[in-house]
Amino acid sequence: MNKQLEMLIYKLINEQGLSLEEYEFLIKNRTIESARLLAEAAVKARKKIYGNTVFIRGLIEISNICKNDCFYCGIRRSNYSCQRYRLTCEEILECCKEGYGLGFRTFVLQDGEDSYYSDERLLPLLKDIKSLYPDCAVTLSLGERSRESYQKLFDAGADRYLLRHETAEEEHYLKLHPENMSYVNRMRCLKDLKEIGYQTGCGFMVGSPYQTNRQLAMDLKFIETFRPQMCGIGPFIPHRDTPFGNQPAGAVELTCYLLSVIRLIKPNILLPATTALGTLEETGREKGILSGANVVMPNLSPVSVREKYRLYDNKVSDGAESAQCVEELKKRMEAIGYTIITDRGDINKY
Ligand code: SAM
């Protein structure tokens, strides 16, 4: 293997960080051999902390109504062919009840950016979930809100918050979002979330339009310096009714490569093998886990709305992607040597 690549991998393992130029080199010059070496080291690092366990999260897509118009997203405001829905608090509690019975101990509440879920509505809901299921964690993924709102939701019991930064380069951010959305505000949100005390997750799409290796290197540098507790990365997949409908999808191979690098940057990070990975390839989830991921998030939304939360074409929500089929997921994980456990699955601070 290229000596320089090999040296960079050892540096990453030992120092948990590289310079921007080095990250870029690692991406640009990747080979099958460097991917193998990185995955091996990433799996070793993750096993040292989490053993063979895989954490599961029950993903409840509470609404696909969105005020934003992100160019890549199938539930963007301007997509008039998207059939909109919103779950009531009672329906969300029903999902939690079913999920608890299936062994889920984390519920992830994700929406578009739907102002229906005001603090006044969310605070009693959070209190209900936490009092009914005190052994469960709640993760929110409700987009950009004020610091005050994040604080109130945290005080009401929310444990974690997922907000992908989407790209760590402002110019690229502007190419993916309309003018009224701001990179600076997104970063403000992430900073607030972390300061408030949430287990905070950032993340980005791999292969999003206009993305360069330099920008991916900047994403890695951002993760290295921001030190999130979670990181969601998955391939970009086009949705036919968006401005990026004709753009090519990102690659499973590069996504897995970056999963390994991120595991080595922060060995205890909670790293999901995302639905997008499982959508592009039947064994995408397994490939993610074998590259260093340690979380899967099956869909716990009511079956009647699953088809409507379509961020990209052909998004899977059945089989191992469905919370009801957690037994199938268990078998698939066991087949590659991993065990799904019933646990909140918090970050191991070690
Ligand atoms: N509204 C919340 C937010 O903005 O954080 C959560 C929902 S948002 C739809 C969740 C994530 O889906 C986004 O952060 C984005 O990275 C991802 N996503 C959207 N469209 C996608 C696409 N076409 N391909 C892959 N991922 C996509």
At residue 200, the pLDDT reads: 98
Whether the per-residue pLDDT at 350 is higher than 80: the answer is no
**CA 113 distance to own-chain centroid:** 17
Q: Which atom of ligand 1 is nearest to the CA of 75?
A: 9
Instruction: Please report, for residues 16, 61, 330, the alpha-carbon distance to residue 327 in angstroms, rounded to integers and kept in the order given.
Output: 36, 21, 5
Question: Residue 339, class by beta-carbon neighbours within 10 Å (0-12 exposed, 13-18 middle, 19+ buried)?
Answer: exposed
Share of the chain above pLDDT 90, in %: 96
pLDDT digits (tens, 9 = 90+) for 76-123: 999 999 999 999 999 999 999 999 999 999 999 999 999 999 999 999
Residues contacting residue 73 through CB under 8 Å, at least 6 positions apart: 66, 239, 242, 311
When pLDDT is averaged across residues 256-264 and rounded to a whole number, the result is 98
Q: What is the rounded distance in angstroms from the CA atom of residue 79 to the CA atom of residue 240? A: 10
Q: Which atom of ligand 1 is nearest to the CA of 166?
A: 16
At residue 113, the pLDDT reads: 96
Nearest CA to ligand 1 atom 4: 143
Whether the per-residue pLDDT at 179 is higher than 80: the answer is yes
Q: How far is the CA of 48 from the centre of ligand 1 (A)?
A: 31
At residue 319, the pLDDT reads: 83
When pLDDT is averaged across residues 186-197 and rounded to a whole number, the result is 98
Question: pTM here?
Answer: 0.97
Ligand 1 binding residues, C-beta < 6 A: 72-73, 110-113, 141, 143, 163-164, 166, 205, 234, 236-237, 239, 276, 311-312
Q: How far is the CA of 224 from the centre of ligand 1 (A)?
A: 22
Per the CB < 8 A criterion, the answer to whether 109 and 129 are in contact is: no
User: How many C-beta atoms surround the C-beta of residue 257 within 10 A?
Assistant: 22
Q: What is the rounded distance in angstroms from the CA atom of residue 317 to the CA atom of residue 308? A: 11
Instruction: Please report, for residues 69, 248, 306, 317, the alpha-carbon distance to residue 75 in angstroms, rounded to integers and kept in the order given.
Output: 8, 19, 13, 16
Q: What is the rounded distance in angstroms from the CA atom of residue 279 to the CA atom of residue 75? A: 17
Q: Which atom of ligand 1 is nearest to the CA of 204?
A: 16
Checking 244-247 for CB contacts under 8 A at 24+ apart, the result is 244/71, 244/72, 244/209, 247/209
When pLDDT is averaged across residues 256-263 and rounded to a whole number, the result is 98
CATH architecture of the domain 3-341 equals Alpha-Beta Barrel (3.20)
Q: How far is the CA of 295 from the centre of ligand 1 (A)?
A: 18
Instruction: Please report, for residues 13, 131, 205, 254, 273, the alpha-carbon distance to residue 42 in angstroms, rounded to integers and kept in the order given.
Output: 9, 37, 20, 15, 14
Q: Which of 57, 61, 72, 183 to mutate to test the pocket of ligand 1 (most atoms within 8 A of CB)?
A: 72
Per the CB < 8 A criterion, the answer to whether 300 and 129 are in contact is: no
Q: What is the rounded distance in angstroms from the CA atom of residue 204 to the CA atom of residue 263? A: 15
At residue 328, the pLDDT reads: 93
Q: How far is the CA of 303 from the centre of ligand 1 (A)?
A: 20
pLDDT digits (tens, 9 = 90+) for 113-170: 999 999 999 999 999 999 999 999 999 999 999 999 999 999 999 999 999 999 999 9
Question: Residue 81, class by beta-carbon neighbours within 10 Å (0-12 exposed, 13-18 middle, 19+ buried)?
Answer: exposed
At residue 293, the pLDDT reads: 98
pLDDT digits (tens, 9 = 90+) for 265-313: 999 999 999 999 999 999 999 999 999 999 999 999 999 999 999 999 9
Q: Where are the domains of the chain?
A: 3-341
Share of the chain above pLDDT 70, in %: 100
Q: Could you tell me the pLDDT band of residue 349, with boundaries at 50, 70 and 90? A: confident
